[in-house]
Amino acid sequence: KRWRNLNRCPDMIRCQYKNDLEEYKRFCVFHLFVARGAQSFAYPILFFGIGIVLCVFGGLSGNSILFVGAGALFAVAVIMPFAMQALQKSKAEKRVRANANFLKTQQFFCFDENSVTLKLKAGDREEEYEIPYEQIAGIYERKDLFYVYIGKTQALIVPKENLEGGSADDLAQLFRKTGKRFKEKKS
């Protein structure tokens, strides 16, 4: 069923989303590199910095072994983000395989002035939650969707193309009430 068939959400912005493995993997990578920010790049930056120090000492002392060590650290610093991305995607696939209902789960969203109502439906099982905007940890706008963080690592995926009762700009206007927690896409 669609929200428009429910009397509870007639004049609000509605949307639905069916869980999708590829989108979930994109979210996991986004979370790793964007939402977590500099924290994800700490080790590559550390290795790069140590590599610079080794280059300086190698140049001052004329020791070619230090240059080789620096080169190895530079290579690790460059390769590490790609390895982290592959690992994150692998973890996402493993989580989906462990949850038989993941790909069967549909999410129905209803956004009003103060909160989002989330209805989860997987087979015969249904759950409904009301989440006030004050409890939302953060919202990131992407070109084609919003990631609405309802926890440190848990987010709702809200596609812009499926909105009913309003546009993506209308929904962004509601999200602006969260202040700095809403990270708008730069035009």
pLDDT at residue 2, as a whole number: 40
From edge to edge, which strands make up the β-sheet containing 145-149? 155-159, 145-149, 138-141, 182-183
pLDDT digit string, tens, across residues 73-103 = 999 999 999 999 999 999 999 999 999 899 9
pTM: 0.81
CA distance 84 to 32: 8
pLDDT digits (tens, 9 = 90+) for 89-143: 999 999 999 998 999 999 999 999 889 999 999 988 899 999 999 999 999 999 9
Q: Please give the C-alpha separations between residue 62 and each of 55, 57, 59, 66, 124, in angstroms, as whole numbers.
A: 10, 8, 5, 9, 71
Q: What pLDDT was estimated at residue 33? A: 87
50 alpha-carbon distance from chain centroid = 30
- pLDDT at residue 12, rounded to an integer: 86
The answer to whether the beta carbons of residues 17 and 157 sit under 8 Å apart is: yes
